[in-house]
């Protein structure tokens, strides 16, 4: 049974009146967590896209890039997206359920936020309502404000990203402390470690992008300090 078929079955349960809590309770263990993760990202992303008043073709395309949706699965994927984008109401419950599901894997929640940032920026504009939406989701996920701002700095041009923000360290921190922060982020983010933990493949793809940004930030700081 394909991922999207299982997603379709979960949505059918919701449409027949089964509560979101009950559906997500069945999606706690691998491989079913991939179903919950995918539903959450698409639902939250669709609701976020609606938060700025419109859902653009670029945002829909961003979903396809994140999920590598096969032609045979596009109908089910579109069903998830269309159900979720009806309005902004209800996003907090989706966020709370996914936060509960991955409470012991904070990096996975960070990956989900990254996917939402990617979708938010797909149309080239970061709407204030999208910022409010993402900040609230990050709060529900328990992400510290410093981490949220670091993510925003990586994705939003107007956020004036800098390598210190990406690594979550002060520009005045000793190089040894910055190196320690970088190494910790690399260990937590490494795709091999995430695969070993059984996290969804979609989260692994987000981690691969984050690894590039983390290493680039460390290289910039290291070169700056060596100058």
Q: What percent of the chain has pLDDT above 70?
A: 76
Furthest CA-CA distance within the chain: 64
Q: What is the CATH number for 111?
A: 1.10.3680
* Amino acid 86: pLDDT: 63
Would you say residue 94 lies in a domain? yes
Note whether residue 219 is domain-resident.
no
Q: Do 118 and 66 contact (CB within 8 A), yes or no?
A: yes
Encoding tokens for residue 88?
């902004």
Q: Using the 8-state DSSP alphabet, how is residue 159 labeled?
A: G
> How many Cβ atoms sit within 10 Å of the Cβ of residue 188?
16
> Alpha helix locations (H) across 74-144?
74-84, 91-101, 106-120, 128-141
72-104: per-residue pLDDT in tens? Answer: 777 777 777 776 666 555 788 888 888 887 887
Domain that holds residue 61: 3-159
Helices 91-101, 106-120: crossing angle, 10 deg rounding: 150
Does a structural domain hold residue 149?
Answer: yes
Residue 40's nearest CA partner among 90, 105, 97 is: 97
Please check whether residue 27 lies inside any domain of the structure: yes
Residue 227 within any structural domain of the chain: no
Q: Rounded to an integer, what distance in angstroms lies between the CA atom of residue 155 and that of residue 113?
A: 11
Residue 170 maps to a domain = no
Domain count, the chain: 1
Q: Is residue 174 part of a domain?
A: no
pLDDT at 1 over 60: no
**DSSP code per residue over 8-24:** HHHHHHHHTT--HHHHH
Specify if 186 maps to a domain.
no
């Amino acid at each position: 049974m394909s991922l999207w078929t299982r997603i379709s079955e979960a949505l059918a349960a919701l449409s027949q009146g089964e509560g979101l809590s009950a559906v997500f309770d069945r999606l706690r263990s691998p491989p079913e967590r991939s179903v919950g993760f995918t539903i959450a990202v698409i639902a939250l992303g669709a609701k976020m896209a609606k938060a700025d008043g419109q859902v653009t073709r670029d945002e829909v395309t961003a979903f396809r890039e994140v999920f590598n949706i096969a032609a045979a699965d596009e109908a089910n994927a579109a069903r998830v997206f269309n159900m979720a984008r009806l309005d902004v109401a209800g996003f907090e419950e989706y966020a709370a359920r996914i936060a509960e599901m991955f409470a012991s894997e904070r990096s996975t929640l960070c990956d989900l936020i990254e996917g939402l940032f990617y979708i938010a920026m797909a149309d080239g504009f970061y709407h204030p309502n999208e910022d409010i939406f993402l900040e609230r989701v990050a709060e529900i996920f328990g992400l510290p404000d410093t981490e949220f701002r670091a993510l925003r700095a990586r994705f939003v041009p107007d956020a004036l990203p800098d390598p210190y923000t990406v690594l979550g360290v002060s520009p005045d921190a000793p190089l040894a402390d910055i190196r320690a922060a970088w190494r910790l982020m690399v260990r937590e983010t490494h795709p091999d470690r995430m695969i070993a933990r059984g996290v969804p493949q979609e989260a692994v793809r987000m981690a691969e992008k984050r690894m590039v940004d983390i290493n680039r930030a460390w290289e910039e700081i290291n070169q700056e300090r060596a100058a």
